[in-house]
Chain A
Amino acid sequence: MTAETGSGGPTADPTGLARLRDYVEGPNTVGNSKGFWIGFLVAVVALSAYPLAVGSYQASRFSLFLVYAFLGLSLSVVWGYAGVLSFGQVVFFGVAGYTFGVVSVNFATPAGITAAFAVGILGGAVMAFVLGYFMFYGGVRNVYVTIITLVSTLVLHTFMAQTAGDEWTIGQAALGGFNGMPTIPNLAFGVGGAAIMFDSVTFYYLVLGLLVATYLGLRVLVNSDYGRVMVAVREDEDRTRMFGYDVKRVKLAVFTLGGALAGLSGVLYASWGNYMSPGVFELTFASLPVIWVSVGGRKTLLGAVGATVGIEFFRNSLGGELAFIIVGALLLVFILGLPGGIVPWVHQTYLDMRDDGSAPDPPETAAEVSDP
């Protein structure tokens, strides 16, 4: 616990590494110790070695779980940090995926696909901005936000399910109703000959790299001054407003960022399976991010990533009939018995063990249970 001051104040020894740690450490994240960063490095190295150990098929399967991790992170930021429980992260996920599909099918060159990547993420962000503006500037609060996002998911599901037929063809891309949109090309970056195409193993490394960058970037964000305002909005909206912060604008900005992250996840998902279908707007799928984030601990980014990858790996490996029963039971047990989630609980237990209960300043208790 060397850099306890977080990003707020400069520490005594501004060497390169210490200054870097100042940015990514703070009271809003779990894992502010040397031991954590060593573990983090080990995990990244292990994940990098994974495709070499198991081959390209398994790597490709695993990259889907990493793709979902962005979706988990998006909900963690929106719900865990800003206190807005969105049941509609899949809306932005799906809109971005479909946007990527439509653009990349019509412009199936590397340059076109690169543009589609950007346009897809933008699509998710714009969708979130519009919905968020409608809600937050309209005074919709608490559980009603959840309900609107939930209903938005259902609207899109119903709408996309009826897009079979020629009138729903955009350029060369047919939306395809229930059957969905096949033949979405693989992801590629670059122009013409200087392009890199991503499939199975290269796609895995791309996703892993993006995930590590996103995780560290979000750590910087939540430990910055803005991150403190986000947490303040979560903890007490009215008091934050009293202090002169524009709560609506903060919520809208965070919600839009969440939309972009979910959009990134959706774009990667569409190019991973070369396929989009209205299934991504189903209630079951919409609930998965809530499950991941609840189990992992919604107030930690690490929990969101870990639980997403863990649960999806487990669910996928188990497959079949029992998977959802176990996932449902997990959700029940964690919401009832461990409302803070696994990671904060493990963290707290670790601190208690190390300091034998005399820890001077436990960073955050997991006892807060009744967020709106």
Chain B
Amino acid sequence: MVNGLNLLFQFLDSFAFIVLAAGGLAIIFGIMGVINLAHGEFIMVGAYATTLANIRLGLPLPAAMLVGVVVTALFGLLVERVVISGWLPNLVAQRTLGRNVIEPLYDRLADSMVATWGLSLIMVQGIRVTLGNSLDQIGTPLGKIAYSGFSYSTYRVLLAGVALAVLGFTYYVFTRTEYGMRARATIQDEDTARALGVDTERTYMTTFAFGSGLAGLTGALYAPTVTMVPGLGSSFLVEAFVAVVVGGPSVVLGTTLAGGLLGAINALFSNLVGTFFGRIALLVTAIVMIRFLPDGITGFVERLRERREEA
């Protein structure tokens, strides 16, 4: 049954989900040229850390969420140093073999996809071995919005607000801070940035940690609403991936627009024909979008603007 208010709530819900899931992935992809297929597993780390901090350590939920974010950011830092940049293995190899063994995965899209996919296999199975097949779940806080036979979780609607706040924060970081300027310089032209004294290596490291922190935040926020199983990351990965590709190179604007468009399509089709078709419609939209706008929505907007300037 299509109902305006219901449709709106569903839209807000999917919008928040897509934006939050995609944020970290988009930043790492946009700045480092690394496709992190383990992004869903980073979200899982955030969710697990939050839940464990809440249940085992007895921390209140907001503090537990903070733990989730910090743990995931640190984990991301570790992954960057060991796998993505190969700094640690190369350090060891320098001492023992006298040469580097790993070339950084920066801007090696296909290789970074394959490597991080291996990482995600290890993480999923590692969690399964150490913590078992499921974990107790924190109850969803804040109750429900109920109206004439329908009800919607207040918490999930609230997440749309959080998603907007995250977008705002990211925008602030990348446009108003010293780090953001360096990061943008690194995207524009890595060699020139390095020549001008930007420590691009450190920018990459920070960026990966920042993106991981965002993934951790997503995991922390969704920890009370998802079933805590080791494979929970895969449901986030798909939407995130699709949103990044549909959004295109501009991180904040692209993610917002993609979240809006895909959220609307998902909400509409879910309401009209059912959840399965909502998801299929979302994926098919993505395929068609990539086919016609290979640079995503923002790439298209950019091209239109250039054409208008030329005219």
Interface on A for B, CB 8 Å cutoff?
Answer: 85, 134-135, 138-144, 146-148, 150-152, 154-155, 158-159, 161-162, 283-284, 287, 290-291, 294, 321-325, 327-332, 335-337, 339, 369-372
Given known A-B contacts A141-B294, A325-B125, A336-B86, A331 and B114 have beta carbons under 8 A apart: yes
Contact call A329/B122, Cβ cutoff below 8 A: yes
Decide if B287 touches A148 in the complex (CB within 8 Å): yes
Bound form: Cα–Cα A162–B129 in Å: 31
The interface residues of chain B lying within 8 Å CB-to-CB of A139 are 294
Q: Which residues of A contact B283 (CB under 8 A)?
A: 151, 154-155, 158
Which chain B residues lie closer than 8 Å to A331 at the CB level?
A: 114-115, 117-118, 121
**CB-CB nearest 9 A-B residue pairs:** A331-B118, A328-B121, A328-B122, A162-B276, A324-B125, A332-B118, A143-B109, A328-B118, A335-B115
Can you name 7 A-B pairs with beta carbons within 8 Å?
A140-B291, A147-B241, A154-B238, A154-B283, A331-B114, A332-B83, A369-B103
Which residue of B83, B117, B119 contacts A290 across the interface (Cβ within 8 Å)?
B117
Q: How far is the CA of A303 from the CA of B284 in the complex (A)?
A: 34
Judged by DSSP, the binding face of B is helix
Return chain A residues, CB-CB under 8 Å to B294: 139-141, 144
Docked-complex contact A372 and B109, CB < 8 angstroms? yes
A336 and B102 in contact, given A147-B245, A158-B276 (Cβ under 8 angstroms) = yes
**B140 in contact (CB, < 8 A):** no
A sample of 9 more A-B contacts (CB under 8 A), given A284-B121, A335-B115, is A146-B110, A146-B113, A151-B286, A154-B283, A336-B115, A337-B101, A337-B102, A370-B108, A371-B110
Q: How far is the CA of A284 from the CA of B124 in the complex (A)?
A: 11
B128 contacts partner chain A, Cβ-Cβ < 8 Å: yes
- Which chain B residues numbered 61 to 102 have a C-beta less than 8 Å away from chain A? 83, 86, 89, 101-102
Compute how far the CA of A146 lies from the CA of B287 in the bound complex, rounded to whole angstroms: 11
Q: Is the CB of B129 within 8 A of A321?
A: yes
The one of A134, A324, A370 in contact with B111, judged by C-beta atoms closer than 8 angstroms, is A370
Please tell me if the beta carbons of A324 and B109 are within 8 angstroms of each other in the complex: no
Chain B residues with CB under 8 Å of chain A are 35, 83, 86, 89, 101-103, 105, 107-111, 113-115, 117-122, 124-126, 128-129, 234, 237-238, 241-242, 245, 274, 276-277, 279-280, 283-284, 286-287, 290-292, 294
Which chain B residues lie closer than 8 Å to A147 at the CB level?
Answer: 241, 245, 290
B290 touches A158 (CB 8 A): no
Q: Which residues of A contact B125 (CB under 8 A)?
A: 321-325, 328
Most chain B Cβ neighbours within 10 Å, of A283, A335, A371, A372: A335
Which of B109, B113, B121, B122 has the largest count of A CB atoms less than 10 A from its CB?
B121
- State the Cβ distance, B272 to closest chain A Cβ, in Å: 15
Residues of chain A within 8 A of B86, CB atoms compared = 336
Inter-chain contact B115/A324, CB cutoff 8 Å: no
Q: Pick the contact of B291: A135, A283, A290, A339 (CB < 8 A).
A: A135
- Smallest CB separation, A365 vs chain B (Å): 14
A294, B109: Cβ atoms under 8 Å? Answer: no
Q: Which residue of B lies closest to A327 (CB)?
A: B121
B288's nearest neighbour on chain A, judged by CB, is A134
Q: Which residues of chain B come closer than 8 Å to A142, judged between CB atoms?
A: 109
In the bound complex, how far is the Cα of B105 from the Cα of A334, in angstroms?
A: 13
- Rounded to whole angstroms, the CA-CA distance of A291 and B121 in the bound complex is 11
Chain B contacts of A146 at CB under 8 A? Answer: 109-110, 113
Task: Tell me the complex Cα distance, A159–B278, Å.
Answer: 11
Residues of B close to A369: CB separation below 8 A: 103, 108, 111
Minimum CB distance partner of B93 in chain A: A337
Q: Inside 8 A of A324's CB, which chain B residues have their CB?
A: 121-122, 124-125
| Min CB–CB distance A325 → chain B (angstroms) | 5
Closest A residue to B126 by beta carbon equals A325
Given A140-B291, A151-B286, A371-B110, also A332-B119 (CB < 8 A) = yes
Known: A159-B280, A325-B129. A290 touches B238 (CB 8 A): no
Q: How far is the CB of A133 from chain B (nearest CB, A)?
A: 11
Are A332 and B122 closer than 8 Å at their CB atoms? yes
Instruction: Give B120 Cβ to nearest chain A Cβ, in Å.
Output: 7
